[in-house]
Structure 1
């Protein structure tokens, strides 16, 4: 089966050419409730393995200079691939200016070889849906002997030494990890990380098990439960019904953006037309500016940006 797919125009990562390290079947050490793939038994190793040479030869046929990222993923967990280190070395030989990215559930960071291999990538996206043991086991359904406490410690350690762009993704499932208690625990961990962006989302494809996502409005409310210094981005637009909130004066808008920077898409969903006009006047008057964070553009307070530059 083909290992290369795309390119796909990813709103978060640009033009992405994907590598599927498990094209024949699902091979994963999690059996997440929300997975778009069918339920399956977990595993801690890949038994159906594609050769590195096969992947590289196929990639060369599709790689060109308009690709922003080569994205390593899998039907399952890509870091279970036994030749990952060799593959990354080969990718770095041919990628030129294209960035390399992996999408991983974070679990194998406890493996020193995997940890060191990921350090060689330009971008890494780590999933972290829960940090308390009971919620982690319910939502991610991990393979035997996988401990969230050890994963969290390695995520923290990785963020301190990694030199590329690090993204954290949290997927919220209704009535599971969306409680104030779990969000506070997540917040405490996130405050220890050095990251480019934290993407929060919810279920937007048919899940493996009968669970539900949260609405865009609920995601927006959740974003305000995190510390305002964290680079939170609402990644999911599922159930994104316009809120059309009215912000009656400039201070309301400034206070909102001070607590949580928003993208243009967020503004379209959250602000009514009069509030948008007020926002654009604030931009014109240099009270609000734009800042690019990991392929996305956010509206932030101009004084906040000046303060950061001063530091």
Structure 2
């Protein structure tokens, strides 16, 4: 296993622009879910509680990595710092300290935490999330059948109605709650963006009443080959249904809302290690790598070719694009 930094990016995020990543878990993937669309692949071993995480990433480790990383990066070129990583970040019992460590090094940057919401019923988890400027909570289903199909939760995880109730209750403690919804269909006929599953999902989202709803589609290689991007008209129908209740500014939809494109000015040359740290957290095309590291596409392609020849990355084709992943 390649030794990886806890810091990676900044990646070009359609939601948050230039997003510097903090990995609160580190490879291999550890999660309470095994979502069929996850870009990190299937969950080999479920964890059900922060007590189950052995040797967690520490605030001291994050602070040291971040101070070192910022020697090659302009702070002004970071729009947000996003805590997520190789699994569910709320599994880390030191999450609150990790957020505080980020604030020590980058006090002017806003901190986002991405969570699948499964552990939000725990008091310590809610307290940690309340430290973030923005909590992005996942909700991909409004009924139990769809929840089991899409998210494949570990045994003992809350049912979807309890999950939604917990998110709604916890909202009062958060500075800003955004709800992340993955819209998808499968080759065998399931869809959460068509009846009967869509109406219950939209009702649940509206009942929670988050500050922002983010509608995503699985445009990167998913854990399961049967997962497909749904038809654009179905996504736009769901978008419009939410806009009618929440207003256009509170509904961010992939393909309509896009904060990517602003360059990052690096103070150091791109390296294979920097590319590996990026690919370990998300599959990327050569163009993605070029944008993240502010290098010509030709240079990104040379680095990726070298990593392929060494067997450290693999390539996967999806939707006419070639993505690269760490083996």
Q: Same fold (TM over 0.5)?
A: yes
TM-score by length of 1: 0.71
The CA deviation at 1:217 is 2.5
* 2:117 paired residue number: 106
Matching residue within 161, 181, 184 for 2:199:
184
Equivalent residue runs for 1:231-242 within 5 Å: 231-235=250-254, 237=255
Distance 1:211 1:160, change over 3 A: same
Are residues 1:120 and 2:131 paired? yes
Matching residue within 55, 61, 68 for 2:68:
61
The CA deviation at 1:139 is 0.7
Structure 2 contact 194–234 (Cα < 8 Å) conserved: no
Matching residue within 80, 84, 88 for 2:91:
80
Where 1:5 maps in the other structure, the secondary structure is: strand
* 1:42 paired residue number: 46
Where 1:31 maps in the other structure, the secondary structure is: coil
* 1:251 paired residue number: none
TM-score by length of 2: 0.68
Number of aligned residues = 239
Structure 2 contact 178–213 (Cα < 8 Å) conserved: yes
Matching residue within 14, 18, 26 for 1:15:
18
Structure 1 contact 65–98 (Cα < 8 Å) conserved: no
Are residues 1:6 and 2:25 paired? no
* 1:172 paired residue number: 183
* 2:156 paired residue number: 145
The CA deviation at 1:48 is 4.6
The CA deviation at 1:43 is 1.6
The CA deviation at 1:84 is 1.0
Are residues 1:154 and 2:166 paired? yes
Structure 1 contact 160–194 (Cα < 8 Å) conserved: no
* 2:277 paired residue number: none
Where 2:228 maps in the other structure, the secondary structure is: coil
* 1:51 paired residue number: 58
For 1:264 and 1:94, the matched residues in 2 are separated by 28
* 1:270 paired residue number: none
Where 1:224 maps in the other structure, the secondary structure is: helix
Q: Which has the larger radius of gyration?
A: 1
Question: Could you report, residue by residue, the CA deviation over 1:64-99 in whole angstroms, capped at 9, with x for unpaired residues?
Answer: 243221110121111101211222222233322100
The CA deviation at 1:13 is 0.9
Where 1:102 maps in the other structure, the secondary structure is: strand
- RMSD value, Cα: 2.1
The CA deviation at 1:194 is 4.0
Distance 1:38 1:225, change over 3 A: same
User: Could you say which structure has the greater relative contact order, defined with CA pairs below 8 angstroms and 6 or more residues apart?
Assistant: 2
Where 1:200 maps in the other structure, the secondary structure is: strand
Distance 1:263 1:32, change over 3 A: closer
